[in-house]
């Protein structure tokens, strides 16, 4: 785990009856103007709401099928040339829209030495894998020495491109220290992919963390989840993506919210997402315009909504998956969510 100086900045508790732990850094909580999740887009991302008790029949604590594609402890192989490793189940902030709630915050802890050896043994038999995504939880919740040792062990198996998937520069930017960035810079090729949802998250502390990463030679991209009442406005997304691009962060994906348990109140209808993208395309350069994507239900895989959408039916959107099959994502109206 990260050292005590950073741990003291984290506020964790178990919140009942939600299915996800409550936890927030003092820094991120300080970005909220009030603690009312219905009134503030920052608070809405970490404060539990009664709406989480509304569970739809098509929702799932593992909506993108992680468990189906697990091939070794914590190792998920869903796509041909890349694999995802759940290195740690802890986060500095437990986002209420989290799609990996079957694992995140469930006290599985960090990957053990024995688990890592099983992972490496499996990877040695998977020569098609050229990229490893470190995720969780948040990999930057590991101590520097743990993180670097993990990357070094993986590199003994293959010359992998490493992708560090993290929200830490947004929710705990002081964790992005010079030693961390220097160590990552010595382990290129590597990308850092940030989870950023709102322009108010782009503080000077965040910008400084990004500058340290870029200065160490890291490539930095971002992913955003389209969240009702938080960022589902053209002006909000335009401000977010244009500012990220100016900071040297490439907006990579705008994700349709997954069908995670108890998250209907966050989801925006796909029609609105398509309309937002249409407007943003006229306002932003391609360098600042992410791909609008959805992870298909039942582990169908990630697809760009605009090209994969085949038709809209009364109760669902029909999209073509990477395997050529048709998948249905429920058509929820704003009045329902």
List the structure tokens of 122: 């499996």
Cβ-based neighbours of 249, under 8 Å, separated by 6 or more = 194, 196, 210, 220, 221, 222
What pLDDT, on the 0 to 100 scale, is given for residue 87? 97
Question: If you count DSSP H runs as helices and E runs as strands, how many of each does the chain have, helices first?
Answer: 11, 15
In this prediction, residue 14 carries a pLDDT of 43
Which residues contact residue 19 at a Cβ distance below 8 angstroms, ignoring those fewer than 6 apart?
A: 52, 61, 101, 261, 262
pLDDT at 9: 61
CB 88 within 8 Å of CB 146? no
Angle separating helix axes 234-246 and 270-283, nearest 10 degrees: 50
Q: Which CA distances in Å does 274 have to 82, 100, 233, 259, 293?
A: 28, 25, 12, 18, 10
Beta bridge partners of residue 193, listed in sequence order: 165, 221
| pTM value > 0.85 | yes
Provide the 3-class DSSP secondary structure of residue 238: helix
CA distances from 295 to 44, 199, 299, 310 (A): 23, 24, 8, 15
Count the neighbouring beta carbons within 10 Å of the beta carbon of residue 291.
17
Domains of the chain (ranges; CATH) run 4-330 (3.20.20.70)
- pLDDT tens digits in sequence order for the chain, 337 residues long: 555 445 556 555 444 334 788 999 999 999 999 999 999 999 999 999 999 999 999 999 899 999 999 999 999 999 999 999 999 999 999 999 999 988 888 888 999 999 999 999 999 999 999 999 999 999 999 999 999 999 999 999 999 999 999 999 999 999 999 999 999 999 999 999 999 999 999 999 999 999 999 999 999 999 999 999 999 999 999 999 999 999 999 999 999 999 999 999 999 999 999 999 999 999 999 999 999 999 999 899 999 999 999 999 999 999 999 999 999 999 987 655 5
Backbone angles phi, psi at 209, to 5 degrees: -65, -40
Q: Which residue from 265, 262, 276 is spatially nearest to 101, judged by alpha carbons?
A: 262
3-state secondary structure of 141: helix
What separation in angstroms does the CA of 135 have from each of 43, 59, 90, 142, 194?
24, 22, 10, 11, 11
Helices 204-215 & 178-185 angle (0-180, nearest 10): 30
Q: Do the Cβ atoms of 247 and 207 come closer than 8 Å?
A: yes
Distance CA 273, CA 292 (A): 8
313 phi/psi in degrees, rounded to 5:
-105, 175
Distance CA 250, CA 194 (A): 10
pLDDT of amino acid 10 = 54
pLDDT at 18: 43
Q: Measured in Å, how far apart are the chain's first and last C-alpha atoms?
A: 37
Nearest-5° angle of CA 59, CA 35, CA 92?
65
Quote the tokens at residue 32.
């909220």
Q: How far apart are CA 77 and CA 131, in angstroms?
A: 11
Give the pLDDT confidence score for residue 1 in this predicted structure.
55
């Amino acid at each position: 785990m990260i050292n005590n100086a950073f741990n003291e900045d984290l506020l964790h508790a178990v919140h009942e009856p939600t299915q996800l732990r409550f936890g927030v850094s003092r820094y991120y909580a300080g970005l909220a103007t009030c603690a009312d999740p219905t009134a503030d887009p920052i608070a809405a991302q970490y404060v539990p709401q009664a709406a989480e008790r509304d569970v739809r029949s098509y929702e799932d604590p593992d909506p993108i099928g992680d468990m189906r594609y697990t091939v070794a402890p914590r190792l998920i192989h869903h796509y041909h040339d890349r694999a995802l490793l759940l290195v740690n189940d802890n986060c500095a902030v437990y986002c209420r829209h989290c799609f990996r709630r079957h694992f995140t915050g469930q006290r599985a802890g960090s990957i053990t030495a024995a688990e890592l050896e099983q992972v490496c043994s499996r990877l040695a038999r998977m020569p098609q894998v050229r990229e490893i995504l470190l995720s969780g939880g948040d990999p930057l919740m590991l101590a520097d020495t743990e993180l670097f040792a993990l990357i070094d062990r993986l590199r003994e198996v293959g010359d992998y491109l490493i992708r560090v998937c993290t929200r830490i520069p947004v929710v705990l930017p002081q964790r992005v220290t010079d030693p961390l960035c220097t160590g990552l810079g010595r382990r290129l090729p590597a990308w850092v992919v940030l989870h950023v949802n709102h322009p108010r998250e782009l503080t000077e502390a965040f910008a400084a963390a990004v500058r340290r990463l870029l200065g160490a030679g890291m490539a930095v991209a971002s992913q955003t989840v389209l969240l009702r009442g938080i960022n589902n406005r053209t002006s909000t997304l335009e401000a977010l993506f244009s500012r990220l691009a100016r900071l040297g962060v490439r907006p990579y994906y705008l994700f349709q919210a997954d069908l995670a348990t108890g998250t209907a109140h966050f989801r925006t209808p796909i029609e609105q997402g398509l309309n937002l993208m249409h407007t943003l395309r006229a306002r932003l350069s391609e360098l600042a315009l992410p791909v609008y994507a959805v992870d298909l239900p039942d582990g169908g895989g990630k697809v760009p909504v605009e090209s994969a959408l085949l038709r809209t039916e009364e109760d669902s959107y029909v999209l073509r998956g990477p395997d050529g099959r048709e998948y249905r994502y429920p058509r929820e109206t704003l009045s329902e969510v």
